[in-house]
Amino acid sequence: MAAMAESTKPEAKKEPVIAVRDLCNRFGEHVVHDGLDLDLLRGEILGVVGGSGTGKTVLLRSIVGLNTPASGHIRVFGEDLIQLSARERSRIEQRFGVLFQGGALFTSLNLQENIAVPLIEHAGLKRPEAEQLARMKLALTGLPPEAAVRYPSELSGGMVKRASLARALALDPEILFLDEPTAGLDPIGAAAFDRLIVTLRDALGLTVFLVTHDLDTLYSTCDRVAVLSQRKVLVADTLETVAATEDEWIQDYFNGPRGRAASYAFRDHSNTRTQEQ
């Protein structure tokens, strides 16, 4: 895959920075996960997919500390988050950056103020310093300088995604969590955002946990794909291996009309790049 081929440190990917073991999530009588195991390897972009109700976002929220599992273990950087005190978890969670599906920007603040909030609250910067650094983060995601003083309501969907990504990068995280980052974007905007994710991963040495349903995103960005099904991770491997797995949902998803179209488009793009080189 392209993302894996372009990685500058493939040997580092063998080390799990997150190890989820025997995870159980339930809400009342409804069991979402039961005995779920999953590793996120250092430096990789892991795509997490699954049918409706399989708990993709619940899994993400459990790892970042927004949902308390019923049982199981979530080891991050070698420490079990579930066993840590709130203060100790906060120390670990400050090494995360999260882009929520809706962006979750403060509507009453402009972009530089939005991004300055975690810098002031968690890094202890003064407001002028925080806003200066916020403008740098906005530039990192491809937004023009004048966007810094605009409000979320004044932005296009693509600009909101980039601004939200800039805020997720505010504290220089080691792990970036993205929940449906291309949802609502047009194909051109989604493709540009996919390229940005790979560029930032390579430039900043990020590890990325990516929840998506976008097949183009899977093919163009992900080193591995994890499929949630039957309350567990059914398979987690390279996209080619996952797509060959004998499972009805996987076959319908990856080898249906849209899956084939995404695969052909990725191969054509890869062939074109090879010829150009």
Q: How confident is the model at residue 114 (pLDDT cuts 50, 70, 90)?
A: very high
Task: Determine which helix (DSSP H) or strand (DSSP E) holds 211, and give its type and residue range.
Answer: strand 207-211
β-pairing, 45-50 with 224-229? parallel
Reply yes or no on whether the pLDDT at 272 is more than 80. no
Q: Mean pLDDT across the stretch 31-59?
A: 96
Among positive and negative, which fits the CA dihedral 125, 127, 133, 139?
positive
Domains of the chain: 2-10+18-95+173-276 (3.40.50.300)
233-265 pLDDT per residue, tens: 999 999 999 999 999 999 999 987 665 566 655
pLDDT reported for residue 15? 83
Q: In residues, how long is the chain?
A: 277
The strand order across the sheet containing 207-211 reads: 96-99, 175-179, 207-211, 45-50, 224-229, 232-237
Reply yes or no on whether the pLDDT at 8 is more than 90. no
Cβ neighbours around 272 below 10 Å, total: 10
Among positive and negative, which fits the CA dihedral 33, 44, 81, 174?
negative
| Residue with token string 């039961």 | 34
Q: Do 170 and 140 contact (CB within 8 A), yes or no?
A: no
Q: How many Å is the Cα radius of gyration of the chain?
A: 19
pLDDT reported for residue 261? 60
Reply yes or no on whether the pLDDT at 177 is more than 70. yes
CA 253-34-218 angle, to 5 degrees, is 30
pTM for the predicted model, two decimal places: 0.88
β-pairing, 175-179 with 96-99? parallel
Least confident range from 15-29, 34-48, 103-117, 261-275: namely 261-275
186-225 pLDDT per residue, tens: 999 999 999 999 999 999 999 999 999 999 999 999 999 9
Q: Mean pLDDT across the stretch 133-147?
A: 96
